[in-house]
Structure 1
Amino acid sequence: MVTASTVQLTVLRGRDDECAAIRRLLNDLPAGGGALLLQGEPGSGRTALVDYARRHADGCTVLAGVGLAEEAALPYAGLQRLLEPVLDRARTLPEQQRRVLRRALAGAGCPAHRRLALSMAVLGLLAAAARDRPVLCTMDDVDRGDQPTAEVLAFVARRLRHLRVAVLLTTATDAFVGGIPGHRLRPLDDRASAALLADRLAGQPVAPPVAAVLGAVAGGNPQALVDLAGVLTPGQCRGEEPAPAAPPTDGGLGRAYRSRLEHLPAETRRVLLLAALDEEGEPGTLLRAARAAGTSVEALAPAELAGLLRVEPGRVTFPQPLARAMVRGAAPLAERRAAHLLLAGALDGPGQRLRRALHLAAAAEGQDPALATELEQAAADDGVGGDAASAALQRAAELTDDPARAAARLVAAARYAWSAGRSHRARLLLRNLPAVAEPTVTGRAALLRGELDLRGGRARSALTALLAAADTLAGTDRALALGALVRAGEAVCFSGDQYRYAEVARRAEQLRRPDDPPATELLSDYVAGVAATLRGDHERAGPALRRAVVLGGHLAGPALTPAALTCAAAAGLLVAVDAAAHRLAERAVELAHHRGELSALPRALELRAAAEYWLGRHDAAADTSREGLRIARDTGQDNWAGVHLGMLAVLAAVRADRDTSLRRIREIGENPGGHSRPRALAQWALAVLDLAAGRHAAAAARLTALARPGTGRGQVLVQVMATPYLVEAAAAGGDRAAAGAALAVFDRWASSTASPSRRALSARCHALLAPRGSAEAEREFRAALRLHPADAGAFERARTELLLGRELRRSRRPRDAREHLHDAREAFTLIGASTWAEQAAAELRAAGESVGAPDPSAARLLTGQQLRIAQLVAEGATNREIAARMFLSTRTVDHHLRNIFHRLGIRSRTELARALS
C-alpha cells in the first residue's frame, strides 16, 4: 500500500475564493465586523477553512465551537461551550441581560418572550470582549448542534457592522442562511483534485487516467480524495489495478457519515439503505421493498431532515453525491445482501429485468452460471449501453464458471466501457482476460486494444495490434476485420507513415466479396479510395470514395453506426463534397450522442470541423473543435485532443490571432511524433503566422517539410489542405520550384473533384506563379473569383481579392487595384479578420488612397465601403469629390450615404463627423 503523506498541508486546493473571503472578513475587522456562512457536504473542507481562519486571525481573540449531535437536545449547550472563555465579561452587561444569559447557559432554558434579550446579551458579551482586541467567533457544523444556539448565532451574525467581531459558521444544510453572506463549497475540479492527490502521495506519482478516475469516484470531495490516497496500492497508482470504486468507509469521510447515521432510528437506516442501493430512485420500487421489509417510506423522514436524501413525488435522490456510497459502505454485508434481495423482489415489471438481475447478482455468493446468463440477456433485452451494460457484463463474467465464456463477457464489458468513454476502465478489463479465450474473442480484444492505443497516445503500436486483430478476425467476422483495417489506416495516417497504407489496402481487398452488405462495402470502398488518394491515383480514388459517400447516406438499422458514418464523411472530404461530408459527420455526432457512444465523438467532430473549414465556416469549425477537444480529454483520447488543438491553432492562425494560435500549439506539447497529424497542423499554423508577418521563406520551409512524397512519409493530406498557403509563401519567397511541385499534387486532386472552391484555389495558385503583370496572372485571378462560391467561403474570396489587388497595384494599375482591395477590406472587416483587413488597407494606401484606422463602433455597423465614404465625409469631401476619388457615380455615393445615416442613427454630415471623431 502507498503511504499517504502525514504532513499537515496548509494549501487548500480549489478553495481560493473561500480563503479570499475569509481574509477579507478578518482584514475588515478593525473597521467593523461581519459574518460568513460556509455550506458544503461532509468532507468538502468546511473544517479546514475554519482552521484556515484561525491560523490567519493574528491579533484576535478566537472563540471556537462545534455543533455536536450528542448535545442537539440540550438547548444552548453549544453556546455555553463557545462563550465560556469570555463569560467573565458578562459583568459589563445590563443586569437583565446578564440574568437571562446566565440562566440559559446554566441549562434553565429561555422563555420565548426573553429570546431577544438573550440574543442581545450574547451580542453585548462579544462586543465587550472585542474592546481589547478583535474577536473571531467560529462554529463548525452549526446545524448538527442544538437549534437554539444556531438561532442566537444567526441573530448575532446579522448585527456586527459596527463591532470588531467576525462570525464564521459552517453547515451541511441550507439552514440559517437568511441575511448572512454565504459560500457554497463546490466540488473540486479535475486540476485541483489531481493537485490534492499529488500533495497526499508525495513521491508516488499517479497516472493521469488514475487521477481522473479517483476524481470521479470522489466527486470532487477533498476528504474523499484524502481517504482514497490513503488506501491506494502502487499498482493502482500506476493504473495496473482497478482503482477503488468508493472512498473507504473507515476514512475521515466514512467516520463523518457513520456519525450521522448512528443518530438515526434503526428503521430509518434500513429504508435508507434500500434507497441507497436502488440507483433509479423510483418511489414505487422503494415503497414495495420497504413494505416487504415490514416498514414504510415514512421512516425516511429523519434522514430527510438530516439532509441525507430528498423524497420527491417522482424520484428519491441523494443531494450529497457521496452520501449514497457512504450509506452502502456503512452497512454490514449481510444487511446489504438482504436489501438487494428485497429490491429484486420488488422489481417484476416490464423493463425491469436488468435491474432485478443486478440486485440478484449483488446478493449472490460464488459463481452462478444461470444468473450470469440472465445478466447478459437482460442487458441485451433492455437495450442499455455504456456504463450500465459494462457493469452488468463484468459481473456476469465474475459469475461465469467457463473461462472462455467469461473472457467473451469481459471483452464485451470492455467494449461498452470504451464506448462510454471510459478508456481506463476498458484497459483494466482487458488486462484481466483469461488466457483460454477463443480466437474470435482474442481478435475482438486485440481490436479494442488497438483502438485504445490509436486514440490514447500510441498510434504506432496500435497499428501492429490492429493488423493482428484483422488477421485473427478475417476467418470468422469479415466486417469486424475490415473495421480493424479502417482503424489501422487511421493509425498510418495519424503517424505519417503513409507508405504503409498500401499494406492495409491489400489486406482489405482480400476480404472484399461481391455480395457484401452495404455497410461492409462502404468500408472496403473507403480503404481502397484512401489508398488510391495517397498514391495520387485520383481516377481510381474518386469512384470508390463517392460510392462510400452514397452508401453512408443510405445506411439504416443496425448498419447505421457512428463509425460507418465517419468513414463516409471522411470519404466525402477526400472528393470535396463538403456539404455531404458535413451532413454525414453531423449525423454521426448526433447518433453518437443519442447512443451514448462518447468514444466516437472526437473523430466525428474532427471531420465536421474539417468540413466547416472547407465550407468557409471558420467560427463554426472552431466551436466544433473546442467541443471535440473537451470530449477527447474527458475520454482519454490524447491523440485526438492533439488533432483538435492543431485545428484550433490553424483556425486562429488563419485569422492572424497569433496569441491564441501559439497557446494552442503549446498545449499540444512534445508527445506527438515528428510526422504526426497534430505536429503537422501545428506547423501549418506557424507557417500561416509567418506568412501574415511577411516571413515567406520560413512559411514555405515549414509547409514543404510536412510531407516527403519520395519516401511516403509525412502528412500528405495536411500538406494538400495547406497548399494555397505554401504556394503563396514560396512564390513570394522566390522558391517557385517547391511551389510548383506542391501545386501539381493539389491540381491532380482538385481537377478530380467537382468542387468550385478547390478549383478557385487552384486558379489563384496558378495566378501567383504566373509572371508578374502578365495577362495569364490576371486571367487566373479572375477565374478564381468566378469560381469562389457566392454563398460560402467569404474568407478565401477576400484573400483572392487582396492578392489580385496587390498584383494590379504592383503592375502599376492602382485604379483597377482599389476596387478589389476595397472589397477585400470590407469582407475582412465584416468577418473580424482585422490583420488581413489592415493588410488590405495598407495596399489601398500604397495604391494612392487615404485609409485611416476605422472607428471600432463604426466598423461594427458599416461595411468597408460605407466606412470609407463616411471617413471622407468626415474629412469634408463633397459627394462629387467622393465619387471621383472612389471611382463611383454620385448616385451610388448618395445611396450609400443614406444607408450610413440610417445605420448610425444620425441626420447630418456634422453628426457623422462627430460620430467618427
Structure 2
Amino acid sequence: MVSASRVQITDLRGRDEECGAIRDLLDGADGGGALLVQGEPGSGRTALLAYAHRHAGDRTVLAGTGLADEAALPYAGLQRLLDPVRDRLGALPAPQRRVLRRALAGEGCPAGQRLTLSMAVLGLLAAVARERPLLCTMDDVDLGDGRTAEVLAFVARRLGHLPVVVVLTGAVDTAPGGIPTCRLRPLDERDSRAVLSDRLPVPASEPVAVALGTVAAGNPQALVDLAEALSPAQCRGEEPLPTTPPPDGVLGRGYRARLNRLPDDTRRLLLLAALDDGMDAATLVRAARVAGTVIEALAPAEVAGLVRVEARGVTFPQPPARAMVVATAPLAERRTAHLLLAALLDGTGHRLRRALHRAAAAEGPDPVLASELTEAARDEGSPDARSAALQRAAELSVDPASATARLVAAAHHAWAAGRPYRARLLTQHLPTGPTEPTVTARAELLHGEMELRCGRTPAALTALLAAADAAAGTAPDLALQALLRAGEAICFAGDQYRYADVARRARALRPTGASPGTELPTAHLAGVAATLRGDHEVAGPTLRRAVVLGDRLAGRDRTPTALTGAAVAALLVAEDGAAHRLADRAVELARVRGEVAALPRALELRAVAEYWLGRHEAAAETSREGLRIARSAGQDTWAGVHRGMLAVLAAVRADRETSLRLIREIGEEPAPGSRPDALARWALAVLDLLDGRPEDAAERLAALARPGTGRGQVTVQVMATPYLVEAAAASAHRPAAVAALAVFDRWADSTASPSRRALSARCHALLAPRGSAAAEEGFRTALRRHPPGAGAFERARTEFLLGRELRRSRRPRDARRHLHDARETFTRLGATAWADQAAAELRAAGESVGGPDRTAARLLTGQQLRVAQLVAEGATNREVADRMFLSTRTVDHHLRNIFHRLGIRSRTQLARVL
C-alpha cells in the first residue's frame, strides 16, 4: 500500500508482542522461520524491520523494499534483494542457476519454470546461511512486483530447519497462506500518549493528549507527525489543535504520492466520499453522475484498499485515510466538491449535512446560513456533527450575542461527544457584549460539569450553583439540571451536609408543568436530601416516585442524565433490579446518541447495581468499560471512581495484586473523603480482613464517614458496613461499627430488600455474644432472608460465618455442613482465598479436608490466574492487555511466570491444565 509505514523510532511503543515474536525467530535454536507483519500505512511495519536488523546479531542480513514504480517489472524486487549474494549462484545446480540468472537479468521466467526458480532462491539462501545464519527482510512486499512476492512466500513456507529467518511486511490484506502472520493494531491510549511524550517539545496537557490520540486513531506515524507539527502553545492547550495529521508530514506525503498515482476521476470520487461520512452507495452513484463520471471510476481506489463501497455506505478501512484524502486535496477542489454535495442533498431530508456542505464552501458572514445550521443542529446529527455545525454557525454570525449562544451550544455538544478539550477551547474566547442569562447559565453549567468530571470538585460546585442562580428566573428546568449536578459534586466530595441547601434551592424553583422530565429531578433532589438526613419515611415514597417517573420517560425527557437520576433513586431504596434496568437504559441511550460524556456515570451506577445483585464479575466488566471510556473522554475523576470500584471487587475476590495496582493508579490525587479515596480504603480494608488484620480493617472503614457531621462517604460506608461489623465485632472500633449498623438498619428497614435485611441480621449476629442463642438465630435469620438464586457470594459468607460461630462454640458437627456449603460456593465462584478460609475452619472442626492442592488456582496469583484463563480461551497477549488494562509487556511477563509455575511450555498445554 502506502510506503508511509516507516515510523523511525527505536523504542517501539505498543509493539512488545510483535518484537517478542521477532526475537523468538532470531533466537530460535531449531533453525529459522518466517513472519508476515501486516499493518495500515504508518503503523510501524518498517520500524519493526529495523528492530529485526538491530537484533540480528551475527546473522547476514539481506534487505529489500517493494517499490510501486517497479510493480510492473517481474522479479525487480528479487533482483535488488539478492544482488549482494549473486556471487554465490555457483553453489546451485545448473538448471536452477540458469533460471535464476535469467530472472535477475530481467528476462523473466516461463510459467513452467517458476517452481525451479523458487527452489533456486531457497537454495541460494541456504548456501549463504551455511557460513552464518541469515536474516532476509522485504518491506512493503505487496507494493512491489507480484512475482517477487510469490517467490518469497514460497521460500517462507519451506525454511524447515535452515538457519534462515524471513520477515515480510505488507498491508492488512496481504495474506499469502501458510506463513505465520501478525497484524499491527492501533496503539491504545497509554502507548499513544507515550509516543507523544517521546516527541513533543513540551509535555502535553491531559486534554491535549486525548485530543491528539483521537485525531491519530492509534496510528504511530500520525502521532509522530502531529507531535512534530505542534507549537508549545498548542501543547499547553492554549490554541486549537489540528483536526487531521499534517498533509506535509511523512504520512501525508505517503498518501499524497499514492493518490497522485490514481486517475483524476478516481481522486474526485474519493474526495466526495471522504467529505461526507454519511454517504451511502446510491448517493455516491448519483454524485459520480453529477461529477461527470461513473461509479466504476472508484475501482482503482478499492483495489488499492483506500476505500470500501458497500450497500450501506462508503468506508475507509484505514482510519487516517479519510482525513488525508481531504487534507491533501487543493482548496478549490474541496469547495467544488462541497457545493456539489450540497446540491445533491437538496430536498433529501438530510438538512444538517446539506447545511454543513454549504457552510464549508461559504466565504464570509452569512446570517441566513448560520440560522439554517442552528435549526438543523437542533434535530439532526451526532454530537460531533452538531458541535461542528454550531461552531460554523457562530463564525458566520453577525450578531455577537447569537455567536456566543451558538458557541456555548457547540461546546455542550463537544463535551457530550467526549471531547472536553474542544469544549474548553470553544468557550475560552467568547465574543464580548451583552449575554442572555440563560446562555450564561448554560456556560456555567458546562464549566461546572467539566470540572466535576475532569478537574476540581470545589470549582465544579461553585460553577454549578452559579448556573442554577443564573437560570432560576428564566429557565427553571435548566436550574434543576445544574442543581442535580451540584448535588452529585457534593456527594462525590463527601460534603453531604451541603446537600440540604441544594434541596432548598430546588424547592424554591417550583417549575411549571407536570412532565416526568420536570418532576423527576425535583423528586430526586428531595429524596436524596431526605436519605442523607436519615428521614427514610419521607425519602422512600419520594425516591420510588422518581423510579416510576424514570420508567415513564419519553421523547425529549428521556435522556441519559434523567435515567441515571432515576437509577440513583432506585439504588437508594434498594430496588437493585430497577436500578440496573434504568442504568442500562442510560448506557444504551448514550451510545445510540453518541453522548460519550454520559457513559462513565451511567456505567458506575450499573456496576453498583450489579454489586448489590451479587454479580461481581459483571460489575467488574462494567467498571472496566467505564474506566476505559472515562480515560478516553478525559474524565479523570470518574476514572478514579471506576478504579476504586475495580479495586474493591478485586479485593473481594482476593486478587491482591490487581487491587493494589488499581489503588496505586488512583494515587494521591483524590481529596481525602472523596469517593475514589473511600473506595480505595474499602478495598484495603477487605485485604486487611483477608490477611487476619481486623483492627486495621475496622479503622479504615470506620473513617469513611462521620455520623452526625454530614461529612464523608455515607453511601460507601453503608455498602461496606458488613465488612466493618465483621472487622470491629471484637475490637476497640466496636462502637463505630454499632453506629454504622444503626444507619444501615434504618435504611434497610425502610426498603423491601431481603438481601439488605439478610445483611443486617448477619451483622447483628456478629455483634451478639459469642456462643449465644442470639448469635446463632441472627445467622439463621440471615440465611432465610438471602434471596434464592441471587447473591450467592453473600449467602456463602453468611454460611461461613455461621459455621465459624458454631465451631468456636464447640459444635463442630453442626458447623461442618455450613462450612462445606460455603467452601463449595466460594470454589464455584473462583473466590479461592475465601474457600481456603472455609477449608481451614473445616480442618479446625475435625474435617479431613487435606492441604491445599496443586491446581492452577492455587499455584497462581489472582492476576496470573485471570491472564491464564483469558489465554486459555484463545486471547492474544494484546487482547489480554486490552481487557485487563495492562501493557503487553506485563502480560508477557505474567505468561512466562505462569508457564514456569505450572511446568508447561505452550498455550495448548495451558488450555489443558485449566
**The TM-score by the shorter chain falls in which range?**
0.7 to 0.9
Residue 84 of structure 1 corresponds to which residue in structure 2?
A: 83
Q: Quick one: distance in 1 between partners of 2:142 and 2:259? A: 15
Residue 575 of structure 1 corresponds to which residue in structure 2?
A: 573
1:165 deviation in Å? 4.3
| Mapped contact 2:520–2:566 kept (Cα < 8 A) | yes
The amino acid across from 1:692 in the alignment is: L
1:189 deviation in Å? 2.1
**Secondary structure of the corresponding residue to residue 138 of structure 1:** strand
Residue 199 of structure 1 corresponds to which residue in structure 2?
A: 198
Q: Does 1:418 align with 2:452?
A: no
Q: Quick one: distance in 2 between partners of 1:97 and 1:720? A: 81
Residue 322 of structure 1 corresponds to which residue in structure 2?
A: 320
Deviations 1:627-680 (A, max 9, x none): 322322232222222222222222333344433332332232221111001111
Residue 19 of structure 1 corresponds to which residue in structure 2?
A: 19
- Which structure 2 segments of 5+ residues have no match? 1-5, 859-914
1:328 deviation in Å? 1.6
| Mapped contact 2:681–2:701 kept (Cα < 8 A) | yes
1:160 deviation in Å? 3.9
Deviations 1:13-55 (A, max 9, x none): 2223333333344445x86554433332222222222333333
Residue 365 of structure 1 corresponds to which residue in structure 2?
A: 363
Of 744, 756, 759, 2:742 maps to: 744
1:101 deviation in Å? 4.4
**Secondary structure of the corresponding residue to residue 229 of structure 2:** coil
Distance 1:745 1:107, change over 3 A: closer
Q: Quick one: distance in 1 between partners of 2:51 and 2:624? A: 38
1:516 deviation in Å? 4.3
**Which shifted more, 244-253 or 696-705?**
696-705
Of 656, 660, 663, 1:662 maps to: 660
Of 443, 446, 454, 1:445 maps to: 443
1:84 deviation in Å? 3.0
1:125 deviation in Å? 4.4
**Which shifted more, 648-657 or 703-712?**
648-657
Distance 1:774 1:12, change over 3 A: closer
Residue 47 of structure 1 corresponds to which residue in structure 2?
A: 46
Q: How does 1:614-633 map to 2 (within 5 A)?
A: 614-633=612-631
Identity %, equivalent residues: 74
Q: How does 1:546-625 map to 2 (within 5 A)?
A: 546-625=544-623
Deviations 1:63-96 (A, max 9, x none): 3333333333344433333333333334555555
The amino acid across from 1:720 in the alignment is: V
1:614 deviation in Å? 2.6
Q: Does 1:68 align with 2:74?
A: no
**Which shifted more, 406-415 or 616-625?**
616-625
Q: Quick one: distance in 2 between partners of 1:515 and 1:93? A: 92
Q: Quick one: distance in 1 between partners of 2:588 and 2:487? A: 24
Distance 1:522 1:84, change over 3 A: closer
Residue 536 of structure 1 corresponds to which residue in structure 2?
A: 534
**Secondary structure of the corresponding residue to residue 672 of structure 1:** coil
| Mapped contact 1:66–1:141 kept (Cα < 8 A) | yes
Q: Does 1:641 align with 2:639?
A: yes
Residue 899 of structure 2 corresponds to which residue in structure 1?
A: none
Q: Quick one: distance in 1 between partners of 2:103 and 2:779? A: 93
1:320 deviation in Å? 2.1
Q: Quick one: distance in 2 between partners of 1:138 and 1:173? A: 18
Deviations 1:787-832 (A, max 9, x none): 3334433333333343344444444444554454444444444444
**Which shifted more, 64-73 or 483-492?**
64-73
Q: How does 1:465-544 map to 2 (within 5 A)?
A: 465-513=463-511, 516-544=514-542
Residue 879 of structure 1 corresponds to which residue in structure 2?
A: none
Residue 888 of structure 1 corresponds to which residue in structure 2?
A: none
**Secondary structure of the corresponding residue to residue 365 of structure 1:** coil
1:115 deviation in Å? 4.3
The amino acid across from 2:762 in the alignment is: R
Deviations 1:808-860 (A, max 9, x none): 44444445544544444444444444433443444444445444458799999
Q: Quick one: distance in 2 between partners of 1:123 and 1:375? A: 64
**Which shifted more, 742-751 or 697-706?**
742-751
Distance 1:757 1:274, change over 3 A: closer
Q: Quick one: distance in 2 between partners of 1:783 and 1:134? A: 75
Q: How does 1:307-346 map to 2 (within 5 A)?
A: 307-346=305-344
| Mapped contact 1:13–1:192 kept (Cα < 8 A) | yes
1:352 deviation in Å? 2.3
Q: Does 1:399 align with 2:431?
A: no
**Secondary structure of the corresponding residue to residue 344 of structure 1:** helix
| Mapped contact 1:150–1:176 kept (Cα < 8 A) | no
Q: Quick one: distance in 1 between partners of 2:706 and 2:190? A: 40
Distance 1:153 1:792, change over 3 A: closer
Specify which structure has the bigger relative contact order, considering alpha-carbon pairs within 8 angstroms and separated by 6 or more residues: 2
Q: Quick one: distance in 2 between partners of 1:727 and 1:253? A: 61
Deviations 1:349-391 (A, max 9, x none): 533222222222222222222222222222334x323222222
Residue 57 of structure 1 corresponds to which residue in structure 2?
A: 56
Deviations 1:312-355 (A, max 9, x none): 45533322222222222221111111122222222235332222
RMSD: 3.0
Deviations 1:569-615 (A, max 9, x none): 21222222333333322332333233332322222222222223333
**Which shifted more, 522-531 or 726-735?**
726-735
| Mapped contact 1:286–1:343 kept (Cα < 8 A) | no
Q: How does 1:146-157 map to 2 (within 5 A)?
A: 146-157=145-156
- Which structure 1 segments of 5+ residues have no match? 1-5, 861-917
Q: Quick one: distance in 2 between partners of 1:829 and 1:92? A: 65
The amino acid across from 2:271 in the alignment is: L
Of 276, 279, 290, 2:277 maps to: 279
**Which shifted more, 510-519 or 293-302?**
510-519
| Mapped contact 2:420–2:634 kept (Cα < 8 A) | yes
1:163 deviation in Å? 4.9
Q: Quick one: distance in 2 between partners of 1:463 and 1:353? A: 38
Deviations 1:394-431 (A, max 9, x none): 22222222222122222222222222222332222222
Distance 1:622 1:360, change over 3 A: same
Deviations 1:851-882 (A, max 9, x none): 4458799999xxxxxxxxxxxxxxxxxxxxxx
| Mapped contact 2:339–2:361 kept (Cα < 8 A) | yes
Deviations 1:679-730 (A, max 9, x none): 1112122222223333222222111111123433211222222223222322
Residue 170 of structure 1 corresponds to which residue in structure 2?
A: 169
Of 337, 351, 354, 1:353 maps to: 351
Residue 406 of structure 2 corresponds to which residue in structure 1?
A: 409
Which of 1 and 2 has greater Rg? 1
Distance 1:68 1:753, change over 3 A: closer
Q: Quick one: distance in 2 between partners of 1:148 and 1:513? A: 76
Q: How does 1:730-879 map to 2 (within 5 A)?
A: 730-852=728-850
**Secondary structure of the corresponding residue to residue 384 of structure 1:** coil
Residue 431 of structure 1 corresponds to which residue in structure 2?
A: 428
The amino acid across from 1:651 in the alignment is: L
Q: Quick one: distance in 1 between partners of 2:49 and 2:525? A: 63
**Which shifted more, 469-478 or 408-417?**
408-417
Q: Quick one: distance in 2 between partners of 1:837 and 1:72? A: 65
**Which shifted more, 764-773 or 521-530?**
764-773
| Mapped contact 1:285–1:343 kept (Cα < 8 A) | no
Distance 1:435 1:100, change over 3 A: same
**Which shifted more, 620-629 or 90-99?**
90-99
Q: Does 1:704 align with 2:702?
A: yes
1:785 deviation in Å? 3.7
Q: Quick one: distance in 2 between partners of 1:386 and 1:33? A: 53
Q: Quick one: distance in 2 between partners of 1:426 and 1:57? A: 49
Distance 1:142 1:807, change over 3 A: closer
Residue 291 of structure 2 corresponds to which residue in structure 1?
A: 293
